[in-house]
Amino acid sequence: MTVTGGTATAPTRLLADGDVPVDISRVPAREAAERELSRPMYHENDPSLLQRGLDRFWEWLDDLFGAASGATPGGVLGLVTVILLATALVAALWWRLGTPRRTPGSSADSLFPDGPRTARDHRTAAARHASAGHWNEAVQERMRAIVRSLEERTLLDPRPGRTADEAAAEAGRSLPAHADELRLAARTFDDVTYGGRTADEPAYRRVEELDTALERTRPTLDTAATGAPA
């Protein structure tokens, strides 16, 4: 045993080239072994950093599902059932509500993004889209025709930024017989414009029929109207 600085260390005996035993301390021996083991030849088959990260992730995920299945009645089967029910609920809500709508008034001109056009222009565009089977665009243009026509008849004051809902509510006061149809048309416009819904021909025909009926309807003058009748 070799004594260094009052501390006994167990020597490690190595053989030199001439087969003569050489005593070295434990620390240098460990460092020599670490240097030897750090050589690339010993790590050729080690997993890559990405593989080690993926292994850790899958281990964590397995532990997570194991803990969740242990806390869920029915074990793994119960957990899968809960996940499927939650997915179905989210899908049902998405289908029912559509994508989040824009806040009313958030656009400079919600109904007329392309600038002022006449009701006749919007009707022509609506008919063109309908003949091509583009029902979303046809609904949008027909609703714009309704609002522009009411403005041209001075039943609505021209106001940039007015939403379809606002126009329907204002027009319903002077045209109470069509208030419900106006609200439905505005809702259809919002669904296809902001809600990610797809219109069909019956939806367009309802808006078209409302436009035609409004053209033949005289306003009720004893309610809060925005202007004089045409």
d(CA 174, CA 53): 68
Phi, psi of 195 (to 5 degrees): -95, 0
Q: Determine contact, residues 79/68, Cβ cutoff 8 Å.
A: yes
SS3 content of the chain, % helix, strand, coil (to 5): 60, 5, 35
Residue percentage of the chain with pLDDT more than 90: 35
How confident is the model at residue 7, as a pLDDT? 46
Position with higher pLDDT, 27 vs 163: 163
pLDDT at residue 189 tops 70: yes
Task: Assess whether pLDDT exceeds 90 at residue 24.
Answer: no
pTM of the model: 0.51
Are the C-beta atoms of 110 and 190 separated by less than 8 Å? no
What is the distance between the alpha carbons of residues 193 and 174, in angstroms, rounded to a whole number? Answer: 26
**Is the Cβ–Cβ distance between 141 and 125 less than 8 Å?**
yes
Q: How large is the average pLDDT for residues 143-147?
A: 94
Share of residues in the chain with pLDDT > 70 (%) = 59
Which are the contacts of 3, defined by CB distance < 8 A and separation ≥ 6?
Answer: 9
Give the span between the Cα atoms of 213 and 182, in whole angstroms: 11
Backbone angles phi, psi at 205, to 5 degrees: -65, -35
Alpha carbon distance 219, 225 (integer Å) = 8
Average pLDDT, integer, range 204-208: 96
Given a contact cutoff of 8 angstroms between Cβ atoms, the answer to whether 143 and 189 are in contact is yes
Express each pLDDT in 67-126 by its tens digit.
Answer: 666 655 656 666 666 677 778 777 776 666 655 554 444 443 457 776 678 999 999 999
| Mean pLDDT over the full length of the chain | 75
When pLDDT is cut at 50, 70 and 90, the band that residue 60 belongs to is confident
What pLDDT does 107 receive? 44
**What integer pLDDT is reported at residue 45 of this predicted model?**
66
Helix (H, G, I), strand (E, B) or coil at 61: helix
What pLDDT, on a 0 to 100 scale, did the predictor assign at position 104?
44
What would the two tokens of residue 64 be?
Answer: 């997570």
